[in-house]
Amino acid sequence: MSLEDLRLEVSYEEYKKLPTEEYVLVDVRDEASAAYGRIPGSIHIPQKELEKRMSELPQGKKLILYCTRGLFSAECAQTLREKGFSAQSLEGGYTGWLLQSMEEEGQRENMNERAEEIEKSIRKKFHKALFTKFARAINEYDLVRENDKIAVCISGGKDSMLMAKLFQELKRHNKFPFELVFLVMDPGYSKANRTVIENNAKMMNIPITVFESDIFNAVYEIEKSPCYLCARMRRGYLYSRAKELGCNKIALGHHYDDVIETILMGMLYAGQTQTMMPKLHSTNFEGMELIRPMYLIREEDIKHWRDYNDLHFIQCACRFTDNCTSCRSDGTSASKRMEVKKLIAQLKETNPFVEGNIFKSVENVNLSTIIAYKKNGVKHHFLENYDLGEGQKS
């Protein structure tokens, strides 16, 4: 064994020089993190499953493991070494690989041509799956009106980045005047994550406006529901900054799968029937609205667009995801959402219409068959009007 093999970590430069037939790249992040993008050619075995799935790992090859930042993968590599494997951790993890790859791409490719290719894919290959559904949601839910000024809120993930490109495409088809501001809030990102966001925006020709806040510092010591609090604070800061810029709406990148998962999560974990609305009036910022123009777009189509264009995005850019993967940009638990996502996939195996039925369930609510419901915070019970003959008849 060489001195190089004795080291627990392998640098990006060393990894790139290795012949592909000599190693296997293993992604040890959880399913939620890996779904945001993986290093090409890697196999996915989550850290919690690694020991029981060791039989899937080849004995005769070097194993190079990576996580988000190279922290947990080093622990995994050490465990595998103790079991007799030749294993190392990729220094800097997925984030480090992403930064290095972006730097190399920027040196060898014309950025304008790259942006044009991405835009062309939206107009041609993905027009029906992405732009048509984007435009349909805007029309069906009356999300964009004449003379609107919309803050397109970009978190750095695949959904918000695609939303920005779809809004740019919508501007090309202007039927009436409206303005866009591509707004990025830095709540305390690591330098690496902020660089990834800025590099992607530059490559995709998205003219972002960045402003800073101290939200991560404010919630760092919070033990109970820090992700929920963070999400609420981020939305408030976005409303505030958008209003300062003269905007009357903020746009978020939640998609169809977010909607149906939220419906089931509310029923299974909160005992209530509700949905993620396509638009909302702001409670605290008068005259401001929140809109979700990706409302009808399927996540699989977003992933297909991302992979077709060889794009790589960060998961959340949150300080806490350097050490954990429990939060999402909307403040919900990634583990619970993943449970619901798997449940929907299982149900779809026997009922191919289950996703559409979940979505339609909040459009077809029959109040005559509801025991109780809330409206504007006030609870109403079916007995209130039962003796007036307004209840359901047998």
106-163, pLDDT tens digit by residue?
766 677 889 999 999 999 999 999 999 999 999 999 999 999 999 999 998 999 999 9
205 or 216, greater pLDDT: 205
Query: What pLDDT sits at residue 329?
Result: 44
**366 exposed, middle or buried (CB, 10 Å; 0-12, 13-18, 19+)?**
exposed
Mean pLDDT of the chain: 88
Lowest mean pLDDT among 106-120, 159-173, 211-225, 305-319: 211-225
- The answer to whether residue 254 scores a pLDDT higher than 50 is yes
- Specify the pTM: 0.86
Are residues 161 and 204 in contact, defined by beta-carbon separation less than 8 angstroms?
A: yes
Residue 35 confidence (pLDDT): 81
How confident is the model over 179-198, as pLDDT tens digits?
999 999 988 787 888 898 99
Averaged over 63-89, what is the pLDDT? 92
CB-CB contact of 187 with 215 (8 Å) = yes
Q: Determine the Cα–Cα distance for residues 381 and 376; give it in Å rounded to an integer.
A: 14
Site of tokens 């809004």: 167
From 7-16, 106-115, 287-296, 301-310, the region with the lowest mean pLDDT: 106-115
What amino acid is encoded at 336 in this protein? K
* Residue 323: band (very low, low, confident or very high) from pLDDT cuts 50, 70, 90: very low
Task: State residue 330's pLDDT score.
Answer: 47
